[in-house]
Amino acid sequence: MTNILISLNGNCSAERTQLLEDYNLVFGVDGGTEYLYKLFFQPTHIIGDFDSINENTKSRAIRDGAKKLAFNSEKDQTDLEIALEEAKKNNADCITIIGGEGKELDHLFSNLLNISSFNEDEAIKWITKDENIIFSNQEKYNIVQGSTFSILPLSDLKNITIKGSKWDIENLDIPYGSSRTLRNVAMSSQLTITLEKGRYCLIIKN
């Protein structure tokens, strides 16, 4: 299994204790490289147009052996899209993302949509101090009993079933944009979520 950590530019509230001790690859996306060093990770790659990274940090990463993937600032893709494509090239099974929590809503929503459109077979987790946002096709999720969680429909959800929650549902169609699956509570240490068709992300409050 290939685990990849991607650190984005923008605010980062994630704490070291929320992350694995080891990742196969560690991507610093432009200024997101700063957070890696603050959290005691050494980047294996630095990616972007490098308009937001401190020059000393960039030099340090290169001295530490990081592979530099530079792109023109006029590129058609965001740095996150490029980082996700690089993760796919490296056969990522699990991707953890930190950072990218800035107050600019267009960037925040763009990151959310980039991740949701990219996710196919990979399990992707976007971690903040207060939430874990999970994009995955798996059916069972480990969760702390009593935690609040939401299922955010990213399309129409056909025949979704939720088990292990305060408000279980079975074989229900949830339209895109519905709030029906928001603010539920885990009643056990494992959630089971199945559906016939559709895409969603699972948001768990820490």
Answer whether residue 3 shows pLDDT above 90: yes
In this prediction, residue 134 carries a pLDDT of 95
All structural domains of the chain, each given as residue ranges with its CATH number in brackets, are 3-129 (3.40.50.10240), 140-205 (2.60.120.320)
What whole-number percentage of the chain has pLDDT above 70?
A: 97
In this prediction, residue 73 carries a pLDDT of 67
In this prediction, residue 74 carries a pLDDT of 64
pLDDT per position as a tens digit, 124-141: 999 999 999 999 888 999
C-beta contacts of 126-129 below 8 A and 24+ residues apart: 126/97, 126/98, 126/100, 127/14, 127/18, 127/19, 127/96, 127/97, 127/98, 128/13, 128/14, 128/98, 128/101, 129/13, 129/14, 129/15, 129/18, 129/206
pLDDT per position as a tens digit, 67-84: 999 887 666 788 889 999
In this prediction, residue 10 carries a pLDDT of 87
What whole-number percentage of the chain has pLDDT above 90?
A: 77
User: DSSP of 80-102, one letter per residue?
Assistant: HHHHHHHHHHTT-SEEEEE----
pLDDT per position as a tens digit, 154-179: 999 999 999 999 999 999 999 999 99
**pTM metric for this prediction:** 0.92
In this prediction, residue 75 carries a pLDDT of 65
Mean pLDDT to the nearest integer, 45-52: 92
DSSP SS3 for 59 = helix
Mean pLDDT to the nearest integer, 47-68: 94
Answer whether residue 4 shows pLDDT above 80: yes
Answer whether residue 1 shows pLDDT above 90: no
Mean pLDDT to the nearest integer, 98-105: 84
